[in-house]
Structure 1
């Protein structure tokens, strides 16, 4: 890194030694105990183009992505459980099936989004039947900042539900053409593999789901937000084991995580599957989870279960590197698991938020089956 100058005199040798030690520390990539974000801010090394057919600009594209991911240009006071400002969560996308909203999705770069695999159960496997709506906070009301994009490829994780219900519940969507980043369309940052999560993180979920079990989101179908806290998987499993006494196979596995609302107690329900759980790390919003499954929204409500994205960061990176760029003139392609899907539940996931008092009452008032897996 540049030419070495003359050897300093006097106490200058100590400064040179400290500088050398600092360079060694940086070179070895020593990490502290605080969660580290893989794409913020340290750039990844430039890789050969032959290894990354899906990346048009290699390391330069990664640098450009790191400069914008998880940093919305539109900011405002975040309340929770209310309408979202346009551009406040610019990575939020609506996954449309034949132009009708079915799930959420999350933009991670100009060509790729992630969502949950169960959103595609019992539906067409043709990418031409799916669209992605970006830059909008209102469903079915397209504005000047809205982009409806066609899908080129649907790549479901090969281990989806092979080991347990909702296991590896993640899917990647490749667009037919890259989307331009704007103040209203921008990607979320991806986490480092095996990222450690602290319980005091500022985390939020967003979606167009139902407001409660019996109350639909009314026109103009405005995007909703909610602040949540991360919950230990062990505690979450205790709650679900007691509730799902007749369905013990449903449990929170290591590639999942739980989150619930400790402030407002408001809930969003059906239609939020595949939507983002983002946490603020190192001044950027990182995609920690994808809304996967839960119980219904009737009281007492339960924490929501999310696909833990850091368990799949390497897989996401591999798909991005090895998948050829889309050809807008060619027909879309689908890549699904070889074996038939086993339906563990419908795609209408329930994302549940609750007040602190309810958490303590849950241990005493949990009773009766009345459950519904989404």
Structure 2
């Protein structure tokens, strides 16, 4: 079976933040007395990319990058000049699609006046603000370094600089949060008129401060009521839900995240960054991740020690990996894409599909993989049913 290479994205991890939040399980490192070696880190990112290009060779040939995402940590700790230098280096090494989406994650408490003009000039055309809440008490409980007023000011500053594509991250089911509190956060977000809202539940992840010392959180029923009410409020405001935690104005869906959920490919550079690449010639899907600690990553200087792990996804794991992403999409994906992206025949998942449909988890549609309302609520169970 001939397979087309899926779209290709680039993820760039910036590992430092001002302070580690107690709920965060990402690879982020709080600032210490000495400032991080920001400029030197840019050199190591480009060396990492050079090495990946050599390693993956033909699997990258003639494939334009459709999106770039700067994640963290707090990428906005890096100056516009450094982001500009990095993006220039990426353009020299990889072809970028004409309308490539380039997103920079931003903490409202770290941006200075005038920086957004610089990021825009560098080529960043989408800003994602980690607001989380517009309630100062909730922000303090979450360990955030900004206030609600600072968040609003930062968003307006980006808009004044010319940004027309802005995402706001919001969390719900926060410590001692009520339904009215959650709706108030959504209302204040919508009032700023972002093009996209990411709205997701606070969960207690292992190896976090919150997991070791859990705060008082709403129970599952109250969290579900918040989710449903906030979904309705966002829909009324013109934000269509297209993924379990993503809402967008028309034609403003996040291209980078859509590529993840559709089981597209992405290179990952930076400390702890993950990547996934399809090699159609070998019939493989390969995952690679980089050494997590910034110091060890930089000491590798683009050498093999920068690689924390590298493996081919087995045929037994591919159905689960595919569904873990694709079933997050509200509209689902064409059933034919399963074979196109994994190289496996549709018969491989026929029994699991039949079971999921009988349980009313998936719509009985021979052309489309799409969860029902019940399936969305019990999505983890649906995805687990595709484990070999």
- TM class by shorter chain equals under 0.3
Larger gyration radius, structure 1 or structure 2 = 1
Q: Which fold has the larger relative contact order, with Cα–Cα distance below 8 Å and residues 6 or more apart in sequence?
A: 1
Q: Which has the higher helix share?
A: 2
What TM-score, normalized by structure 1, do the two folds share? 0.24
TM-score, length basis structure 2: 0.24
